[in-house]
Every structure is written in structure tokens, then in C-alpha cells.
Amino acid sequence: MKRKIVNFTWEDEDAQEVFAEWLPFPNSQTSAKDVDAIKNFVGLKFPLYVLDVGCGNGRHAIELAKRGNKVVGIDVAKTFLNQAQQAALDAQIKIVFRLQRASDLSERNVFDFALAYWHTIGFMSDDEIKKHFSAIYNSLKPGSFFFYTFQGPKLIPGQESKIAIPMRSWTETDGKFMLTEKSIQNSYRNEHCIVIDTVKGEIIEYREHQRAISYNEVVDYLKNAGFSPVAGYKNYKGEPATPEEFNIFLCKKT
């Protein structure tokens, strides 16, 4: 069998391909429900000028544009952006999609609202994360909201100096087998995936080294960028978050 090794980053097109295949984006009905929930949660009044950070295949950007909003979607994943552009074309909706890091945003006091949905920052260095959130903050108009849902490995208090017992799993679909091992060591998650494609006769190894981030670290990054929390930070149930369980952050540029 042919063999290939991929060191996972969002910029890598091989990594994008396997992600989309094994963890496909939700459909348009789910995306529409997401947008409705975000609108109600934040208390937004459309139309707005919206920035979608890490827009992926454009599912939220398209739903936002359908509601009369002007939308800019940015991502570092070229494969996903191509899908987004085609989906917008098929829907006959005008959206600006850019292959761009948030830290490279040049807009200042432009957007009425920004969202980063299921957004991963663990591949960035500490300085890059600071620039990332500062640029998003600067791009927003004063008084605007930033809705951020955290994705990626979470660092639980007391776990910093421990090595988690490796978690192993396997999945099979259409003649493809994925074997996965995950562990956290020295505040980083190490993930090793082996995909065996019996149809193509190839083996691909995906290796991921991503920083695990704690609740307090995310809060500090947002506050240091200038954001103020609104109604407290939330967990996935919409309740006040604890350091053990969190993913939703609603912030405001003052």
C-alpha cells in the first residue's frame, strides 16, 4: 500500500480533505437554526455588516446573507473556501470570501458583528492568539458584539502537569478504517490518526500537536484584546460556565 504522513494544520489541504470526509459540516437546516439561535442569544437586529472568522464552507455566512446581512468570510483552509464560494454562487448570494488569517485583518471600526463558530486557536502561538483577537476587536465598530464558540482540546485545572491516559478508537466507513489515539502531555494534545483506504490501497497517517487551552486563558485573551464580557461566559447548555465545561463566549467592544 502507498503510505503518506500529514502533519495536521488547517492550512494543509490533505488535512482539510480528511476532516470534511470524517467530520462533515452540518447541513443548511442546522446552519439556519444556528443563525437563529445566535441572533436570539446576542439580541441582534438585522441587517448588519458581519465578519465570519473561520467560515469553513460558508454555511453560516450564507445563512446570514439570506437574512439581508452583508458578510465577509475568512478562513485559512483553501478547500473549504472553494466550497463556500461555489455554495454562494449556487444560492445566487453575494458574499466576500477571503483566504486570510484574522490577525491580518486590515479593517478598523468596520463590522457590526463578528462570529467565530467552533473555532480552534490551539495551533497558534501565544503571540499569534493575541494578534488574532486584537485584530478582530479592531475590525469591529464600538459597541459591537463578538460571538465566539471555542473548539479544540480543553485544559482542565490540575491537568497541566499530568499525562492523560491515551484514548484509542476506530471508525469504519465505505472501506476506510480510521484508528485514532489521543493524549494530553505538557498542555498539548497529541493525536495520531491512521486512515487505511482498502479501495485506493493507501495508508495516510495524520499527526496533530495542538495546545490545550483552559477557560481562564481564553477569558484572559479576550479581555487583553479589549473585549468586555456580556452576561457572563456560558457553557454549551447556555448556563454560567465553569473552568471544566465551557465553549461559548459573548463579548462586546466598548
Tell me the pLDDT tens digit for each residue of 204-240.
888 989 999 988 899 899 999 999 987 555 554 556 6
Q: Clarify whether residues 89 and 207 are in a common domain.
A: no
Tell me the pLDDT tens digit for each residue of 29-47.
999 999 999 999 899 999 9
List the domain range (segments joined by +) for residue 244: 22-155+213-253
Q: Which residue has the cell 447548555?
A: 237
Q: Report the CATH number that the domain containing residue 45 is assigned in CATH.
A: 3.40.50.150
**Domains of the chain: total:** 2
The pLDDT, as a whole number, for residue 235 is: 56
Write down the pTM of the prediction.
0.87
Q: Clarify whether residues 124 and 187 are in a common domain.
A: no
The pLDDT, as a whole number, for residue 161 is: 46
Q: Clarify whether residues 29 and 80 are in a common domain.
A: yes
The pLDDT, as a whole number, for residue 195 is: 87
242: in domain: yes
14: in domain: no
